[in-house]
């Protein structure tokens, strides 16, 4: 072990915990509040659309049957059922990443919203926190989570970030909602870090649906660790370093834990998705749609082969015969083939029916992957150049170096509210109006209990 790295890491981690415990109760810039509110809205939409998947429905019904105690927190699904906070956190955690439509963090492999929000919302509703307190807690919990991901980046795609950071993020969120002091926050987060699990990255590529359960398990672990911290049970300040640097063999950037705290906010470097697949595939999806704009609809028989040049993350998405919908979302061949033939990279391109579609399957087998030579550091680490070779010998290409949705090419709020409206229309029809008001910072909503806002998402009742 590098003793110098350990000493630096523990020093910077201590500064982060001290800052977070104070920041959650203090003011935050309005631009940060607004970004956190957008993440809140977008990820609730992801929970709702995920709740409609058959496996998620079964899992959520199990939580409802086994709920103990009073209904204190909401499951973001049809009917908005209320159950115990732990069950609600797990139910929403199961749904949030299922459709690959949740928000992500651009500067590290990390979906801090998905790791923090299931536990945060359940705890905040049960404790009667206000909408404003929810948004504040999200901004700070997101910061803690993203900074650990930046401080301990994986050098390759072998441990999935949902497995590595979900429990840590949930513990940070619950501790901050409870207004733990720095000592208890540290105990909670470091205890959760010790329970990170080595979920292989290829679990997603291979389509094992347990990958979608990691955010549910993380929510459960994080809530327990916050409880245990109050009992004096937690990790040590060196625990995260031991877990990530020593056990997981990550790189170490200790200064990332505290550099620019309060001035640089991670929520401002998030990205949003309108394509229902891994973000490393988005540039190739956009490039495929550009080619469709040039040619109009095409058939698999018209294309001899498709060459896709991608960054390192895209090259890991190499499944040609995805076995599940999840695997399809982590398959560049499927994403490109389905988008090419359907003219859409939305949820309709990643269904069970598209997996078995003979034309899409035939085109998947014509897709070859290679490294894009111009790939670089973020934000140019996720490029996609797609070249069609047609049967008449013609070649046409389209290049997207930076996919849309990040801070450099953000979707406007209207686009994200429209996305939310599509995903919640059947289950929580008033979500766009309520969460739009929260994004705009309307005091009528920010000062009210989060439970009131949640009730209004489905009923529209502002009483």
> For residue 212, is it within any domain?
yes
Domain, as residue range, for 291: 279-400
Query: Do residue 136 and residue 9 come from a single domain?
Result: yes
3-state secondary structure (DSSP) of residue 162: helix
Paired sense of beta strands 104-105 and 384-390, if any: unpaired
In this prediction, residue 4 carries a pLDDT of 87
Counted residue by residue, the chain has a size of: 463
The CATH number assigned to the domain holding 94 equals: 1.10.4100.10
Q: Which of 221, 253, 271 is the last residue of a domain?
A: 271
In this prediction, residue 318 carries a pLDDT of 95
> For residue 418, is it within any domain?
no
Give whole-number Cα distances, 463 to 117, 275, 455, 459, 460, in Å: 25, 36, 10, 11, 9
> For residue 28, is it within any domain?
yes
In this prediction, residue 2 carries a pLDDT of 74
Instruction: Report d(CA 420, CA 43) in Å as an integer.
Output: 9
The CATH number assigned to the domain holding 338 equals: 3.30.1330.120
Instruction: Report d(CA 385, CA 371) in Å as an integer.
Output: 10
Instruction: Report d(CA 56, CA 461) in Å as an integer.
Output: 28
Closest CA to 111 of 142, 136, 87: 142
Paired sense of beta strands 303-310 and 367-371, if any: parallel
Query: Do residue 199 and residue 334 come from a single domain?
Result: no
> For residue 414, is it within any domain?
no
Query: Do residue 248 and residue 340 come from a single domain?
Result: no
> For residue 419, is it within any domain?
no
> For residue 76, is it within any domain?
yes
Percent helix, strand, coil in the chain, to 5, is: 60, 10, 35
Query: Do residue 119 and residue 226 come from a single domain?
Result: yes
Q: Per the structure, how many domains does the chain have?
A: 2
Q: Which of 225, 252, 271 is the last residue of a domain?
A: 271
Query: Do residue 379 and residue 262 come from a single domain?
Result: no
Instruction: Report d(CA 338, CA 340) in Å as an integer.
Output: 5
Per-residue pLDDT tens digits of the chain, which is 463 residues long: 578 899 999 999 999 999 999 999 999 999 999 999 999 999 999 999 999 999 999 999 999 998 776 789 999 999 999 999 999 999 999 999 999 999 999 999 999 999 999 999 999 999 999 999 999 999 999 999 999 999 999 999 999 999 999 999 999 999 999 999 999 999 999 999 999 999 999 999 999 999 999 999 999 999 999 999 999 999 999 999 999 999 999 999 999 999 999 999 999 999 999 999 999 999 999 999 999 999 999 999 999 999 999 999 999 999 999 999 999 999 999 999 999 999 999 989 999 999 999 999 999 999 999 999 999 888 899 999 999 999 999 999 999 999 999 988 999 999 999 999 999 999 999 999 999 999 999 998 999 999 999 999 988 766 4
In this prediction, residue 461 carries a pLDDT of 67
Query: Do residue 363 and residue 343 come from a single domain?
Result: yes
Query: Do residue 245 and residue 292 come from a single domain?
Result: no
> For residue 420, is it within any domain?
no
Instruction: Report d(CA 127, CA 138) in Å as an integer.
Output: 15
Query: Do residue 249 and residue 381 come from a single domain?
Result: no
In this prediction, residue 379 carries a pLDDT of 85
Query: Do residue 267 and residue 287 come from a single domain?
Result: no
């Amino acid at each position: 072990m590098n003793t110098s790295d350990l000493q630096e890491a523990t020093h910077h981690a201590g500064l982060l915990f001290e800052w977070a415990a104070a920041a959650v109760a203090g003011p935050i810039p309005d631009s940060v509040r607004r970004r956190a509110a957008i993440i809140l809205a977008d990820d609730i939409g992801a929970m709702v659309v995920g709740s409609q998947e058959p496996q998620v429905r079964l899992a959520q019904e199990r939580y409802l049957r086994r709920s103990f105690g009073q209904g204190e927190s909401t499951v973001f699904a049809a009917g908005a059922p209320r159950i115990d906070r732990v069950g609600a956190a797990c139910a929403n955690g199961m749904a949030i990443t299922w459709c690959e439509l949740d928000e992500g963090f651009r500067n590290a492999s990390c979906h801090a919203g998905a790791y923090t929000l299931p536990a945060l919302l359940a705890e905040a509703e049960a404790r009667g926190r206000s909408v404003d307190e929810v948004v504040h807690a999200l901004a700070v919990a997101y910061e803690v989570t993203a900074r650990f991901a930046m401080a301990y980046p994986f050098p390759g795609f072998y441990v999935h970030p949902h497995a590595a950071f979900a429990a840590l993020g949930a513990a940070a969120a619950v501790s901050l909602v409870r207004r733990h002091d720095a000592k208890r926050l540290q105990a909670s987060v470091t205890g959760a870090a010790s329970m990170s699990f080595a979920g292989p990255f290829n679990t997603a590529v291979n389509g094992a649906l347990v990958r979608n359960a990691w955010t549910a398990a993380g929510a459960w672990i994080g809530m327990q660790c916050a409880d245990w911290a109050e009992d004096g049970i937690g990790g040590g300040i060196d625990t995260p370093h031991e877990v990530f640097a020593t056990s997981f063999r990550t790189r170490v950037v200790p200064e990332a834990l505290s550099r620019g705290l309060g001035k640089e906010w991670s929520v401002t470097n998030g990205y949003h998705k309108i394509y229902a697949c891994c973000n490393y595939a988005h540039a190739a999806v956009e490039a495929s749609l550009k080619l469709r704009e040039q040619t109009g609809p095409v058939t698999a028989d018209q294309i001899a082969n498709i060459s896709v040049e991608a960054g390192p993350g895209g090259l890991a998405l190499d499944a040609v015969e995805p076995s599940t919908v999840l695997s399809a979302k982590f398959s560049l061949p499927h994403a490109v083939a389905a988008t090419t033939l359907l003219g859409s990279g939305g949820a309709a391109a990643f269904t069970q029916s598209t997996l078995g579609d003979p034309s899409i399957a035939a085109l998947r087998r014509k897709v070859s992957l290679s490294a894009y030579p111009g790939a670089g550091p973020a934000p140019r680490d996720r490029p996609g150049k797609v070249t069609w070779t047609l049967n008449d010998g013609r070649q046409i290409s389209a290049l997207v170096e930076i996919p849309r949705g990040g801070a450099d090419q953000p979707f406007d709020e209207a686009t994200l509210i429209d996305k939310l409206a599509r995903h919640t229309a059947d289950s929580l029809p008033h979500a766009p109006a309520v969460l739009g008001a929260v994004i705009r910072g309307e005091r009528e909503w920010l000062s009210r209990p989060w439970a009131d806002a949640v009730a209004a998402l489905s009923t529209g009742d502002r009483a």
